[in-house]
Amino acid sequence: MPRIRPFVSTIAAGGSVPTRQATASAFGGGPGAASASAAFGKVGDAFKRIQDNIERQEVSDVNARLYKLRADWTLHVEERARQTPPGDMSFATKIREELADTLDKMGADIQGRRAREAFEQGAARLRADISLSAAQMQAQLAAEKASLDYGVLLDASRNTLLNDPTQYDSFLKQALHDLNDPRGGFSNLDAKTRAELTRTTREEFAKSAVQGLIRLNPEFARKQLESGRFDVDLDADTKAALLRNAEVAIRAEATEQERARREAERKEQEAQEAEADGLYAKFAAGELTMKEVLDSSLPAFGDISKERFRRLIAQEVKSETPANISRQTTAHLMEAIHAPEDDPRKVRSVQELEDQFIRGRLTK
């Protein structure tokens, strides 16, 4: 069987055959490209640092603005509270709404992510703190209104007790119940204020009741004070002052009673003198009768009395006084009438003339 011989080349290289290997420079590499890459990396880092600084500055600016806003609104809330009428229940709501508007306007200009996050966190804290402060201020305004309202109640009750002190016990019980009722209008008062108002109520009601008693019956008021009726609610100094007032009122009442008595006597005297003048006129005309004397309102006895007119009429019906005696008596009376004021013989009233007539020493 024929065999196929293998092929053997008879051509050989006459020298070394040059070969070419791939290098970094063949693909744009090499020292220049590495330098460029490093430069780009540094630029990127620089941009990152710049951006970080910008964001940090934005956060710092936001925090600074929020701190200033907090300071401004803290003062604003206090100032608004001073200008707000006591009892305004919309105070806290208005403050929250106004602050929300201010923060919305401030937040509209903030775009950076980190600055935005800082703003949202700071704004939330500011809202919470200012809302709490406004709520506390509103509670104070409510308490102030309650105190004012209670002051009106207290004054009205005191005036009532001055006019009618018999209502003292019922008024005191009702006032203390209203003040301490947990569901009442004064429930927002703090414990210290309520305790002070309780003490004031008891003291002022007691003082007003005693003052009312002094006006009505100072003697009874003094006895009530001395018995210790109001000792629980009145301190020693106040009690002593009220006792002095009662004593003054007692003396004033006695003085007034004496003045009224004297005034009544004066008016009675004037009325008697006027009536006596009418009787004297009738007596002088010879027209006075005993019946008219008895029917008069003159007292039975005295300088101007029914008895005196009876004696005048009785003397009139007697025999005529001798002329010489009447002349002597008349001369004596005229001398006594014109005598000096310090002369004990001086005649100072018509009764002395009447006495001479009644004795029969003077003609009519």
Query: Is residue 62 pLDDT above 80, yes or no?
Result: yes
Would you say residue 56 lies in a domain?
Answer: yes
Tell me the CA end-to-end span of the chain in Å, nearest whole number: 222
Percent of the chain at pLDDT exceeding 70: 75
User: Could you tell me if 98 and 171 lie in one domain?
Assistant: no
Last residue of a domain, one of 224, 243, 258: 258
Whether pTM exceeds 0.75: no
Predicted pLDDT of residue 361: 60
Domain range for 297 is 261-358
Q: Which of 95-109, 142-156, 338-352 has the lowest mean pLDDT?
A: 338-352
Would you say residue 33 lies in a domain?
Answer: no
Q: What is the mean pLDDT of residues 5-16?
A: 43
Predicted pLDDT of residue 346: 76
Query: Is residue 49 pLDDT above 80, yes or no?
Result: no
238-276 pLDDT tens trace: 999 999 999 999 999 999 999 999 999 999 889 988 988
Would you say residue 86 lies in a domain?
Answer: yes
User: Could you tell me if 152 and 173 lie in one domain?
Assistant: yes
Would you say residue 216 lies in a domain?
Answer: yes
Choice between 120 and 316, residue whose per-residue pLDDT is larger: 120
Predicted pLDDT of residue 64: 94
Choice between 296 and 46, residue whose per-residue pLDDT is larger: 296
Last residue of a domain, one of 143, 173, 207: 143
287-342 pLDDT tens trace: 888 888 888 988 988 878 888 888 777 776 565 666 555 556 656 666 666 678 77
Mean pLDDT of the chain: 82
160-187 pLDDT tens trace: 999 999 999 999 999 999 888 988 888 8
Tell me the pLDDT band of 94, cut-offs 50, 70 and 90.
Answer: very high
Query: Is residue 12 pLDDT above 50, yes or no?
Result: no
